[in-house]
Amino acid sequence: MNTNELSKVCRQVRRDIIEMTGNAGSGHPGGSLSAVELMTSVFYNHMRLDPKNPTDPNRDRFVLSKGHAAPCYYGVLAEMGFFSRDEFADFRQLHSILQGHPDCKKTPGVDAATGSLGQGCSIAVGMALGAKIQGKDTRVYALLGDGECQEGQIWEAFMAAAHYKLDNLTVMIDLNGLQIDGAVADVMNLGDMNAKLRAFGFDVHEIDGHDLDAIEEALSAPVSGRPKCILAHTVKGRGVSFMENQAGWHGKAPNAEQRQQALKELED
């Protein structure tokens, strides 16, 4: 897809996020809205997969380590045809295929159950290493939040990825600067992530995480013998004026009035 086509998908996914969380009265819109361009670009332009055969053993893999951003994940998967948009009405409901965090046993297109922050990168490393051992050309993509990079397990996974030379692994970090308790820099400052990831042996690309052309360039950049990391500077709540850069929208759904205002702002 070209940039214009992807932009249209991104706008619809943002509307889906508002509809899902608003209808459920719960969920995590802020970090879902910040991740839209990253997830849309990966799924539409870089992953080998077939919505009609979601368990194809030769497919590429995606791990949403920041599992609370499930509304964005579901929006992208539905747009691609993995399941009907009608499922949005049951988001976060008992027995729904669209739980509050991704569930690989329930949701077509989901490769890993996530939500316990810090674990997704390890899962992705395991998938990438497994593909290497089996001689497969499977590519693995993982999306992390900056807040969860305060977890020690993340750095153990980074170390393992470099040690095993997992050049089939791409880690994307959504640097929106906010977590549920406030600014990431205040809760536990991550410091110079670019320098740290390079020191850990990654090929690093630091970009604007809402610039589709920059995302495409970073995802397409060749790398050999090293895992890739895309440090994506984003805006929490992107696209909805009253949600942007507000930590309070990490895990709060819009009420009816806010929902309508957000949808109006996201009209074509």
Q: Domains of the chain: which residue ranges? A: 3-265
pTM exceeds cut of 0.85: yes
Architecture of the structural domain at 3-265: 3-Layer(aba) Sandwich (3.40)
The span from the CA of 225 to the CA of 245, in Å, is: 37
Residue by residue, pLDDT tens for the chain (268 residues) are: 999 999 999 999 999 999 999 999 999 999 999 999 999 999 999 999 999 999 999 999 999 999 999 999 999 999 999 999 999 999 999 999 999 999 999 999 999 999 999 999 999 999 999 999 999 999 999 999 999 999 999 999 999 999 999 999 999 999 999 999 999 999 999 999 999 999 999 999 999 999 999 999 999 999 999 999 999 999 999 999 999 999 999 999 999 999 999 999 999 7
What is the model's pLDDT at position 118?
Answer: 96
92 Cβ contact partners less than 8 Å away, ≥ 6 residues apart: 20, 24, 26, 27, 98, 99, 100
Assess contact for 243 and 27: CB atoms under 8 A.
no
Task: Tell me the CA end-to-end span of the chain in Å, nearest whole number.
Answer: 18
Assess contact for 155 and 126: CB atoms under 8 A.
no
What is the model's pLDDT at position 215?
Answer: 98
Token reading at 249: 């929208």
List, in sequence order, the alpha helices (H) in the chain: 3-24, 29-34, 36-45, 70-80, 120-133, 152-163, 184-188, 193-199, 212-220, 256-265
